[in-house]
Amino acid sequence: MKATPFWDWALAQYRSEATQHLLLRLQEESGLVILEALFACWLATQRVRWQSG
């Protein structure tokens, strides 16, 4: 799997100021890893489930 489609999608999502603020707030308050959250959302758009190992 190449990273380019995910990376392009993630950057497009992060351009939204509202998304940025929400993700940064969740990072600060809950320890969210922004890149992991974006990756999980992208996987959902690809109809792929993220399963814990």
Other Cβ atoms within 10 Å of 38 Cβ, number: 19
Phi, psi of 7, deg, nearest 5: -60, -45
Domain count across the chain? 1
More confident residue, 11 or 49: 11
Question: What pLDDT score was predicted for residue 52?
Answer: 76
Question: What pLDDT score was predicted for residue 53?
Answer: 72
Q: Which residues contact 41 (CB under 8 A, 6 or more apart)?
A: 13
Residue found by looking up tokens 């993700």 in the block: 23
Domain hosting residue 19, numbered range: 6-45
Is 15 within a domain?
yes
Does 44 have pLDDT greater than 70? yes
* Spatial contact of 6 and 39, defined as CB atoms under 8 Å apart: yes
Is 52 within a domain?
no
Is 29 within a domain?
yes
- pLDDT tier for residue 1 given thresholds of 50, 70 and 90: low
